Amino acid sequence: MTDALAPDVLIIGGGSGGYVAAIRAAQLGLRVVCVERDATLGGTCVNVGCIPSKALLESSHHFEFARERASAHGVMLGNVGLDLDVMQKRKTDVVAQNTRGIEYLFRKHAITWARGSATLEAGNVVEVRGAPPENTITVYHPTSVIIATGSVPSALPFLPYDEERVLSNTGALALTEVPEHLVVIGGGVIGVELGSVWRRLGARVTIIELLPSILSGYDADLAREAEKLFRKQGLDIRTATKVTGARREGDRVLVDIEKEGKSETLVADRVLACVGRRSSLPGIDAKSLGLALGPRGEIAVDDQMRTNLPNVYAVGDVVGGMLLAHKAEDEGIVAAEVIAGKPSHMHYGAIPAVVYTTPEIVGVGLTEQQVKESGRDYKVGKFPYSANGRARTAGETAGFVKLVADAETDALLGAHLIGPTASELVAELTLTLEFGGSSEDIALTVHPHPTLSEATREAALAVLGRAIHI
């Protein structure tokens, strides 16, 4: 057993929150060690989440466009074929580019990557066991610790993952053949994104959602529009439907469902279970350490990402809330800055959440339902992409921009988009929320023509009762 020099900060976990915290801490002049047990940095997002799923979404979108919609533009491609091996290799290469990029940034900022599994002990002592067969143990005595151990998929008790026929997001991203029938349990973001990938590539896809609507938590207008468009695209969506049981029989998985007292058994060759994620605390015995947890097993923190233990911070999925990489990154920055003595804090009022389907779906701030339930008087402005010139030229006219503003002050309260490149368009609205701006601020801002961003301005004008192009 060797005793390493004590760093200023040691971070447990090299995912989105952890590696960003490491870089920011190093920028601030702190000596940093980041412990990551996987072979690559980047965590779930980079390796088996955001990046590979978006690579497959992009590739499958191009495939479907070439096969079904290119001819509308006068581009005649004939018989379009699919080489899934090439598509998967491209996804793997994209992931590798990102993980190598993080390794480069660690070298650039002189961050020590301790490869191994960490155990947090009392007094902020961290023991790191290296990879087998050596299993070398190194003990660190950092001044501060940041826990960034992420989350793992929740499993159905009667249908454990085998990543062959019963898939988590990890297995669904690594399929080597297109399923004949993919049953997706859960109509949240992961379910509709990965369901969309395999539908585009030729699978029959059935999505089972227990709640009355898919995409729970998004504005109701967005969820209704999304469900309508997804059905039109060919997804079989079963809402208000309960999965009562499931079992694997050879190469088939039988899924028992029930709706309004009527039972049915679906036969699939693959099942993707997306029933949520839970905080992961490997190497951290919260009870023995006295680490306070929330009701769902998440680490309890304040707005400076401090836990109840002295000089111990936590960021990312492990603290619960919105399980988003960009939220984790901001939390990592806040933790690093607080450790360095900066007056930094976290707030969650302007964090956009995106679904990268076609069309894209995004919400930031309060939904109309949340504002209504608060009793606050409000105004709504909507503008459809079907009335936008750039959307027409692209042939992408589905969806709309919806803004919710205070009826008295006109302060923007929430923004909700479903349409082309919505993930890029929302930045303007997020900035408006962050600065406490109004719909009039957006309406008075000249937007270039012809662009999709004009729909944002028109929605702001609609809040004021003076939309031009509808």
State pLDDT tens for residues 202-250. 999 999 999 999 999 999 999 999 999 999 999 999 999 999 999 999 9
* Torsion 25-26-32-34 (CA) sign: positive
Contact 140, 6 (CB under 8 A): yes
Of the listed 73, 345, 347, 449, which one is catalytic? 449
Q: Assess whether 219 and 251 both reside in one domain.
A: yes
Q: Assess whether 93 and 230 both reside in one domain.
A: no
> What's the pLDDT score for residue 295?
96
User: Does the residue 106 lie in any domain?
Assistant: yes
DSSP lists the bridge partners of residue 249 as 252
Q: Assess whether 310 and 257 both reside in one domain.
A: no
Contact 291, 299 (CB under 8 A): yes
Write the pLDDT tens digit of every residue in 141-181: 999 999 999 999 999 999 999 999 999 999 999 999 999 99
Residue that is last in its domain, among 223, 247, 275: 275
Q: Assess whether 283 and 407 both reside in one domain.
A: no
Mean pLDDT of the chain: 97
What's at 435, amino acid-wise? F
> What's the pLDDT score for residue 134?
75
| Contacts with 114 (C-beta within 8 Å, 6 or more apart), sequence order | 33, 34, 35, 36, 128, 138, 140
Q: Assess whether 239 and 134 both reside in one domain.
A: no
C-alpha to C-alpha distance for 137 and 122, rounded to whole angstroms: 17
Residue that is last in its domain, among 306, 339, 372: 339
Residue 2 pLDDT > 50, yes or no? no
The domain spanning residue 215 has which CATH number? 3.50.50.60
Of 366, 32, 85, 6, nearest to 220 by C-alpha is: 366
User: Does the residue 138 lie in any domain?
Assistant: yes
**Structural domain count of the chain:** 3
Looking at residue 73, the DSSP 8-state letter turns out to be: G
Full residue range of the structural domain in which residue 183 is found: 166-275
- pLDDT (mean) for 54-62: 98
Looking at residue 379, the DSSP 8-state letter turns out to be: E
Confidence band (pLDDT; 50, 70, 90) for 4? low
Residue that is last in its domain, among 275, 301, 323: 275
Q: Assess whether 137 and 28 both reside in one domain.
A: yes
> What's the pLDDT score for residue 5?
78
Q: Assess whether 16 and 147 both reside in one domain.
A: yes
Q: Assess whether 302 and 403 both reside in one domain.
A: no
- pTM here is 0.96
> What's the pLDDT score for residue 1?
45
Write the pLDDT tens digit of every residue in 346-390: 999 999 999 999 999 999 999 999 999 999 999 999 999 999 999
Q: Assess whether 189 and 256 both reside in one domain.
A: yes
Residue 63 pLDDT > 90, yes or no? yes
> What's the pLDDT score for residue 234?
98
Write the pLDDT tens digit of every residue in 306-345: 999 999 999 999 999 999 999 999 999 999 999 999 999 9
Q: Assess whether 261 and 197 both reside in one domain.
A: yes
Long-range contacts of 37-42 (CB under 8 A, 24+ apart): 37/115, 37/116, 37/117, 37/118, 37/131, 37/282, 38/14, 40/99, 41/14, 41/99, 41/102, 41/103, 41/106, 41/113, 42/14, 42/15, 42/16, 42/95, 42/98, 42/99, 42/102
The domain spanning residue 423 has which CATH number? 3.30.390.30
| 333: phi then psi, degrees, rounded to nearest 5 | -65, -45
Q: Assess whether 114 and 174 both reside in one domain.
A: no
- pLDDT (mean) for 250-271: 97
DSSP lists the bridge partners of residue 258 as 242, 263
Q: Assess whether 238 and 131 both reside in one domain.
A: no
- Give yes or no: 449 in active site: yes
User: Does the residue 347 lie in any domain?
Assistant: no
Contact 196, 301 (CB under 8 A): no
Residue 383: C-alpha distances to residues 40, 230, 404, 406, 415 (Å): 44, 20, 12, 18, 12
